Amino acid sequence: MFDWDLSALEESWRFLLGGVGVTLGLSALTVATSLTLGIAVGVLRCYAGAWLRVPLTFYVDSMRAIPVLVVLVWMYFAFPLLTGVSAGPFWAALAALTVHVAAYVAEIVRAGIESVRPGQIRAALALGMSQPQLVMQVVLPQALVRMLPAIGSVVSVTIKDTAIAATIAVPEFMKRAETVAGQSYQPVQVYTAALVVYFLILFPTTRLIDRIHARVAHLGRS
């Protein structure tokens, strides 16, 4: 019978909780920046001229072809050497996760925009709206509502992916769990706690997004 000695968790819970704070902070920032960048890229891929669409397509395709861990490591180790700009592991993680996740968001946004009925666009044009007006007032609001379930998946993957920031020593939850597990020789207890903590963060998050979608779905039905 395994001895569930919880002394390491009892001793280090403040340290671990601080890591949860870093994880939540990194997650929230990454979600905010990658949604912003992803929506912009998705909209521009639909409406911009070819001179912009082509490089954006290349960006999206390459981000889907490169593991996020590789982007992260490159951003932390290679980017500062190439540019002379070094902002520390937290910001490197934020940048890497953002450019990666935004590519997926952009694809979702593009699919959402393309799913809006042509009749809606004709109706907006017939009122005399300009292209930017019809995108902002008619297409995007409906597309965003329809995208919500897919965005929800991306948000939960993003929160989970912040754990790889541990590899560049961002003091987030996973990194601190590794530290505590290593020092206390109690990996079973600590890593089990890690499972539970991630579940407790993510399960309500995905449920919340589903419930929001259930409430607003009718706004995107045309």
Partner 1 sequence: MNPVIEYRAVCKNYGSFVALRDVSFSVSKGEVVCLIGPSGSGKSTLLRCTNGLEQISGGAILLDGAPLPQTRAGMRAVRQRMGMVFQNFELFPHRSVFANVMMGPLTVLRMDHAAARARAEALLDKVGLADKAASMPAALSGGQQQRVAIARALAMEPAVMLFDEPTSALDPETIGEVLSVMKRLADEGMTMIVVTHEMTFARRVADRVVVFERGGVLLEQGPPRQIFDAPLMERTRDFLSHLDWSG
By CB under 8 A, name the binding residues for partner 1: 117, 119-120, 122-131, 133, 137-138, 141-142, 145, 218-222
Nearer to partner 1, 7 or 130 (CB): 130
Cα(first)–Cα(last) distance of the chain, in Å? 59
Torsion of CA 44, 47, 50, 54, to 10 degrees: 40
Nearer to partner 1, 94 or 143 (CB): 143
Nearer to partner 1, 24 or 125 (CB): 125
Instruction: Give the count of beta carbons closer than 10 Å to the beta carbon of residue 55.
Output: 11
- Minimum CB separation from partner 1 for residue 35, in Å? 19
- Minimum CB separation from partner 1 for residue 87, in Å? 39
Nearer to partner 1, 69 or 212 (CB): 212
Nearer to partner 1, 54 or 127 (CB): 127
- Minimum CB separation from partner 1 for residue 134, in Å? 9
- Minimum CB separation from partner 1 for residue 73, in Å? 42
Nearer to partner 1, 14 or 218 (CB): 218
Cα–Cα distance measured from residue 30 to residue 22, given in angstroms and rounded to the nearest whole number: 12
Name the token pair of 81.
């050497």
Instruction: Give the count of beta carbons closer than 10 Å to the beta carbon of residue 93.
Output: 27
- Minimum CB separation from partner 1 for residue 31, in Å? 23
> Among residues 16, 1, 3, 2, which one has the least CA distance to residue 181?
16
Cα–Cα distance measured from residue 189 to residue 94, given in angstroms and rounded to the nearest whole number: 29
Q: What are phi and psi of 128, to 5 degrees?
A: 100, 15
Cα–Cα distance measured from residue 161 to residue 80, given in angstroms and rounded to the nearest whole number: 22
Sign of CA dihedral 177, 179, 182, 183: negative
> Among residues 34, 39, 38, which one has the least CA distance to residue 136?
39
- Minimum CB separation from partner 1 for residue 218, in Å? 5
